[in-house]
Structure 1
Amino acid sequence: MFQLIVFCLLPLCISCAISWEDCGKADRSLVFRKLNFKRENLVIDGRSPIEFGIDFSLLDPMVKEVTMSSELRRHFNIFGYKNSVLLPCINDVGSCSNNFCHMVASNAIFARAVATQLKVPFDCLMKSGRYAGHVTYPVPLDGFKPLLSAFSWAASGNYELIVRWYLEGAEIGCLALSADLQIDL
Structure 2
Amino acid sequence: MILNLIVYCLFPTFISCTVNWEDCGQADRSLVFHKINFKSDKIIIDGDEPIQAEVDFSVLDPFDYEVTMSAELRRYFKLLFIEKSFKVPCINDAGSCSGSFCYFVQSYANLARSFADSLHAPFNCAMEKGRYAGNITYPIPTNVFNKIPSVITKNLSGKYELVIRWYFGDQEAGCLAIGSALQINP
Question: Which TM-score applies when normalising by structure 1?
Answer: 0.85
Instruction: Kindly state the Cα deviation for residue 58 of structure 1 after the two structures are TM-superposed.
Output: 0.2
Paired residues for 1:125-136 under 5 Å: 125-136=126-137
Query: 1:49 corresponds to which residue?
Result: 50
Offset from partner CA, 1:55-104 (integer Å, 9 cap, x none): 00000000111110010111112123332111111111110110100111
The CA deviation string for residues 105-164 of structure 1, in whole angstroms up to 9 with x for no partner, is 111111111111211110000100000001111222123245273313321221111100
Q: 1:156 to 1:49 in 2, by over 3 A?
A: closer
1:12 paired residue number: none
Distance 1:107 1:184 in 2: 22
Does residue 155 of structure 1 match 2:165? Answer: no
1:102 is aligned to 2:103: yes
Q: In terms of Rg, which structure is larger?
A: 2
Report the count of equivalent residues: 170
Q: What residue ranges of structure 1 are gaps of 5+ in the alignment?
A: 1-15
Query: Which whole-Å CA distance do the structure 1 matches of 2:27 and 2:80 have between them?
Result: 39
Q: Name the SS of the counterpart of 2:113 in structure 1.
A: helix
Q: Is the 8 A contact 2:70 2:99 kept in 1?
A: yes
Structure 2 gaps of 5+ residues are 1-16
- Is contact 1:17-1:181 (8 Å) kept? no
TM-score normalised to structure 2 length = 0.85
Name the % identity.
52
> C-alpha distance in 2, partners of 1:120/1:182?
30
SS for the counterpart of 1:153 is: helix
User: Does the 8 A contact of 1:32 with 1:55 survive in 2?
Assistant: yes
Pairing 1:129-144 to 2, within 5 Å after superposition: 129-144=130-145
